[in-house]
Chains A and B, each alone.
Chain A
Amino acid sequence: GNSVTQMEGPVTLSEEAFLTINCTYTATGYPSLFWYVQYPGEGLQLLLKATKADDKGSNKGFEATYRKETTSFHLEKGSVQVSDSAVYFCALRSNFGNEKLTFGTGTRLTIIP
Protein backbone atom coordinates (compact mmCIF):
# COMPACT_ATOMS: atom_id res chain seq x y z
CA GLY A 1 0.00 0.00 0.00
CA ASN A 2 0.91 3.67 -0.02
CA SER A 3 3.13 5.09 2.67
CA VAL A 4 5.04 8.26 3.52
CA THR A 5 8.21 8.33 5.57
CA GLN A 6 9.10 11.64 7.06
CA MET A 7 12.10 12.96 8.88
CA GLU A 8 11.76 12.49 12.61
CA GLY A 9 11.53 15.58 14.74
CA PRO A 10 11.60 17.74 16.57
CA VAL A 11 13.82 20.08 14.62
CA THR A 12 15.14 23.26 16.22
CA LEU A 13 16.87 25.92 14.15
CA SER A 14 18.01 29.48 14.59
CA GLU A 15 16.30 32.23 12.65
CA GLU A 16 17.66 32.62 9.09
CA ALA A 17 19.02 29.06 9.03
CA PHE A 18 18.48 26.75 6.05
CA LEU A 19 15.75 24.17 6.46
CA THR A 20 15.38 20.72 4.97
CA ILE A 21 12.71 18.25 6.04
CA ASN A 22 13.07 14.92 4.29
CA CYS A 23 10.12 13.02 2.87
CA THR A 24 10.13 9.80 0.87
CA TYR A 25 7.18 7.81 -0.32
CA THR A 26 6.03 4.44 -1.55
CA ALA A 27 3.10 4.34 -3.95
CA THR A 28 1.84 2.64 -7.05
CA GLY A 29 1.63 4.75 -10.15
CA TYR A 30 2.20 8.46 -10.04
CA PRO A 31 0.76 10.05 -6.94
CA SER A 32 0.37 13.73 -6.23
CA LEU A 33 2.48 14.98 -3.34
CA PHE A 34 1.63 17.59 -0.75
CA TRP A 35 3.10 19.44 2.20
CA TYR A 36 0.62 20.56 4.84
CA VAL A 37 1.46 22.79 7.80
CA GLN A 38 -0.23 22.91 11.20
CA TYR A 39 0.43 26.06 13.20
CA PRO A 40 -0.10 25.90 16.97
CA GLY A 41 -3.79 25.57 17.81
CA GLU A 42 -4.87 25.49 14.17
CA GLY A 43 -5.88 22.93 11.56
CA LEU A 44 -4.03 21.62 8.54
CA GLN A 45 -3.23 24.11 5.81
CA LEU A 46 -1.91 23.26 2.39
CA LEU A 47 1.59 24.67 2.02
CA LEU A 48 2.46 23.43 -1.46
CA LYS A 49 1.96 20.55 -3.84
CA ALA A 50 3.35 18.88 -6.95
CA THR A 51 1.34 16.64 -9.21
CA LYS A 52 3.92 15.09 -11.54
CA ALA A 53 7.57 14.17 -11.67
CA ASP A 54 10.06 17.05 -11.67
CA ASP A 55 7.37 19.56 -10.70
CA LYS A 56 8.41 22.04 -8.06
CA GLY A 57 5.86 23.30 -5.60
CA SER A 58 6.53 26.59 -3.85
CA ASN A 59 4.84 28.91 -1.38
CA LYS A 60 5.93 31.40 1.30
CA GLY A 61 9.61 30.76 0.50
CA PHE A 62 9.24 26.99 0.87
CA GLU A 63 9.99 24.67 -2.02
CA ALA A 64 9.78 20.95 -2.74
CA THR A 65 10.59 19.06 -5.92
CA TYR A 66 8.86 15.82 -6.92
CA ARG A 67 11.72 13.38 -7.55
CA LYS A 68 10.41 10.17 -9.04
CA GLU A 69 13.82 8.54 -9.30
CA THR A 70 14.41 8.84 -5.56
CA THR A 71 10.69 8.79 -4.58
CA SER A 72 11.26 11.94 -2.57
CA PHE A 73 9.62 15.30 -1.92
CA HIS A 74 11.92 17.10 0.50
CA LEU A 75 10.80 20.45 1.88
CA GLU A 76 13.34 23.30 1.86
CA LYS A 77 13.51 26.94 2.84
CA GLY A 78 16.55 29.13 2.52
CA SER A 79 16.01 31.34 5.56
CA VAL A 80 13.50 30.38 8.22
CA GLN A 81 11.63 32.77 10.47
CA VAL A 82 10.18 32.40 13.96
CA SER A 83 6.73 32.41 12.36
CA ASP A 84 7.59 29.18 10.52
CA SER A 85 7.43 27.28 13.80
CA ALA A 86 4.79 24.60 13.20
CA VAL A 87 4.30 20.92 12.45
CA TYR A 88 4.88 19.96 8.82
CA PHE A 89 3.21 16.95 7.21
CA CYS A 90 4.17 15.32 3.96
CA ALA A 91 1.30 13.53 2.23
CA LEU A 92 0.45 11.73 -0.97
CA ARG A 93 -2.69 10.99 -2.91
CA SER A 94 -2.77 8.13 -5.35
CA ASN A 95 -3.98 8.51 -8.90
CA PHE A 96 -5.63 5.08 -8.89
CA GLY A 97 -9.03 6.29 -7.76
CA ASN A 98 -7.99 6.10 -4.13
CA GLU A 99 -9.30 9.30 -2.69
CA LYS A 100 -7.60 9.45 0.65
CA LEU A 101 -4.51 11.37 1.63
CA THR A 102 -1.78 9.28 3.22
CA PHE A 103 0.24 11.31 5.71
CA GLY A 104 3.67 11.07 7.21
CA THR A 105 4.14 11.32 10.95
CA GLY A 106 4.76 15.07 10.92
CA THR A 107 7.88 17.03 11.84
CA ARG A 108 7.72 19.64 14.57
CA LEU A 109 9.85 22.67 13.68
CA THR A 110 10.85 25.29 16.23
CA ILE A 111 12.70 28.42 15.17
CA ILE A 112 14.66 30.29 17.82
CA PRO A 113 15.22 34.03 17.46
Chain B
Amino acid sequence: EPEVTQTPSHQVTQMGQEVILRCVPISNHLYFYWYRQILGQKVEFLVSFYNNEISEKSEIFDDQFSVERPDGSNFTLKIRSTKLEDSAMYFCASSDDRVAQETQYFGPGTRLLVL
Protein backbone atom coordinates (compact mmCIF):
# COMPACT_ATOMS: atom_id res chain seq x y z
CA GLU B 1 0.00 0.00 0.00
CA PRO B 2 1.42 3.41 -0.93
CA GLU B 3 2.47 5.56 1.99
CA VAL B 4 3.93 8.92 2.83
CA THR B 5 7.51 8.78 4.07
CA GLN B 6 9.47 11.37 6.03
CA THR B 7 13.13 11.88 6.85
CA PRO B 8 14.75 12.18 9.26
CA SER B 9 12.65 10.56 11.96
CA HIS B 10 14.43 12.65 14.60
CA GLN B 11 16.39 15.90 14.31
CA VAL B 12 18.22 17.75 17.04
CA THR B 13 19.47 21.23 16.27
CA GLN B 14 20.82 24.30 18.00
CA MET B 15 18.73 27.41 18.29
CA GLY B 16 19.32 29.71 15.33
CA GLN B 17 20.23 26.92 12.93
CA GLU B 18 18.32 26.05 9.78
CA VAL B 19 16.67 22.67 9.32
CA ILE B 20 15.11 20.99 6.33
CA LEU B 21 12.49 18.32 6.84
CA ARG B 22 11.84 16.01 3.93
CA CYS B 23 8.78 14.18 2.78
CA VAL B 24 7.96 11.88 -0.10
CA PRO B 25 4.19 12.03 -0.71
CA ILE B 26 2.17 9.26 -2.31
CA SER B 27 3.20 9.23 -5.93
CA ASN B 28 -0.03 10.15 -7.71
CA HIS B 29 -1.12 12.76 -5.17
CA LEU B 30 -1.16 16.42 -6.10
CA TYR B 31 -1.91 18.18 -2.81
CA PHE B 32 0.64 18.37 -0.03
CA TYR B 33 0.49 19.57 3.55
CA TRP B 34 2.56 20.19 6.62
CA TYR B 35 1.18 19.99 10.15
CA ARG B 36 2.88 20.12 13.51
CA GLN B 37 2.13 18.80 16.96
CA ILE B 38 3.80 20.40 19.94
CA LEU B 39 4.15 17.85 22.73
CA GLY B 40 0.83 17.38 24.50
CA GLN B 41 -1.05 19.73 22.21
CA LYS B 42 -3.29 19.35 19.23
CA VAL B 43 -2.18 18.82 15.65
CA GLU B 44 -2.01 22.19 13.90
CA PHE B 45 -2.11 23.01 10.20
CA LEU B 46 0.88 24.87 8.79
CA VAL B 47 0.59 25.01 5.02
CA SER B 48 -0.90 23.42 1.93
CA PHE B 49 0.80 23.26 -1.46
CA TYR B 50 -0.45 22.58 -4.94
CA ASN B 51 0.91 23.13 -8.43
CA ASN B 52 4.21 24.42 -7.06
CA GLU B 53 2.73 27.13 -4.93
CA ILE B 54 1.26 27.64 -1.49
CA SER B 55 -2.52 27.44 -1.57
CA GLU B 56 -3.18 28.12 2.09
CA LYS B 57 -1.12 28.85 5.18
CA SER B 58 -1.81 29.39 8.85
CA GLU B 59 -0.69 32.27 11.01
CA ILE B 60 2.04 30.00 12.37
CA PHE B 61 3.62 29.78 8.92
CA ASP B 62 5.51 33.06 8.92
CA ASP B 63 8.65 34.14 7.07
CA GLN B 64 10.70 31.71 9.11
CA PHE B 65 9.14 28.84 7.19
CA SER B 66 9.22 27.87 3.53
CA VAL B 67 8.17 24.88 1.47
CA GLU B 68 9.43 23.54 -1.79
CA ARG B 69 8.95 20.68 -4.17
CA PRO B 70 12.44 20.53 -5.61
CA ASP B 71 11.81 17.54 -7.85
CA GLY B 72 9.01 15.21 -8.81
CA SER B 73 8.98 13.29 -5.58
CA ASN B 74 10.21 15.30 -2.58
CA PHE B 75 8.35 17.95 -0.60
CA THR B 76 10.39 19.89 1.94
CA LEU B 77 9.77 22.19 4.88
CA LYS B 78 12.60 24.58 5.72
CA ILE B 79 12.73 26.31 9.06
CA ARG B 80 15.23 29.18 9.19
CA SER B 81 16.78 30.35 12.43
CA THR B 82 15.04 27.79 14.62
CA LYS B 83 13.62 28.77 17.98
CA LEU B 84 13.05 26.70 21.10
CA GLU B 85 9.30 26.83 20.49
CA ASP B 86 9.75 25.16 17.09
CA SER B 87 10.35 21.88 18.93
CA ALA B 88 7.51 19.63 17.82
CA MET B 89 6.54 16.65 15.72
CA TYR B 90 6.15 17.70 12.10
CA PHE B 91 3.82 15.69 9.90
CA CYS B 92 3.66 15.72 6.13
CA ALA B 93 0.44 14.68 4.41
CA SER B 94 -0.79 14.28 0.86
CA SER B 95 -4.12 13.83 -0.86
CA ASP B 96 -5.50 13.10 -4.28
CA ASP B 97 -7.86 16.06 -4.29
CA ARG B 98 -8.67 19.12 -2.24
CA VAL B 99 -12.37 18.42 -1.77
CA ALA B 100 -13.56 17.98 1.79
CA GLN B 101 -14.34 14.29 1.35
CA GLU B 102 -10.85 13.37 0.30
CA THR B 103 -8.61 11.72 2.87
CA GLN B 104 -5.26 13.22 3.74
CA TYR B 105 -2.62 10.54 4.28
CA PHE B 106 0.01 11.28 6.87
CA GLY B 107 3.63 10.31 7.18
CA PRO B 108 5.18 9.01 10.41
CA GLY B 109 6.50 12.44 11.34
CA THR B 110 9.84 14.08 12.14
CA ARG B 111 10.46 14.88 15.77
CA LEU B 112 12.39 18.16 15.92
CA LEU B 113 14.15 19.21 19.09
CA VAL B 114 15.67 22.68 19.25
CA LEU B 115 18.22 23.19 22.01
Contact = CB atoms under 8 A, between A and B. Distances in A.
Q: Do A and B bind?
A: yes
A30 B55 CA distance: 21
A100 interface: yes
B105 interface: yes
B100 A46 contact: no
Given A43-B109, A44-B91, A98-B56, A103 B43 contact: yes
A51 B33 contact: no
A26 interface: no
Contact of A99 (B48, B103, B106): B48
Query: Which size class do A's interface residues fall under?
Result: 20 to 34
B107 A101 contact: no
B41 interface: yes
A106 B98 contact: no
Contacts of A103: 42-44
B41 A102 contact: no
Contacts of B105: 46
Interface residues of B, number: 26
A93 B103 CA distance: 9
Contacts of B44: 103
B75 interface: no
B101 interface: yes
Given A43-B91, A99-B55, 8 more contacts: A32-B100, A43-B6, A43-B106, A51-B101, A94-B100, A95-B100, A100-B58, A106-B42
14 contacts: A30-B100, A43-B106, A43-B108, A43-B109, A45-B106, A49-B101, A49-B103, A93-B100, A95-B101, A99-B48, A99-B56, A101-B33, A101-B35, A101-B104
Interface of B: 6, 31, 33, 35, 41-45, 48, 55-56, 58, 91, 93, 98-101, 103-109
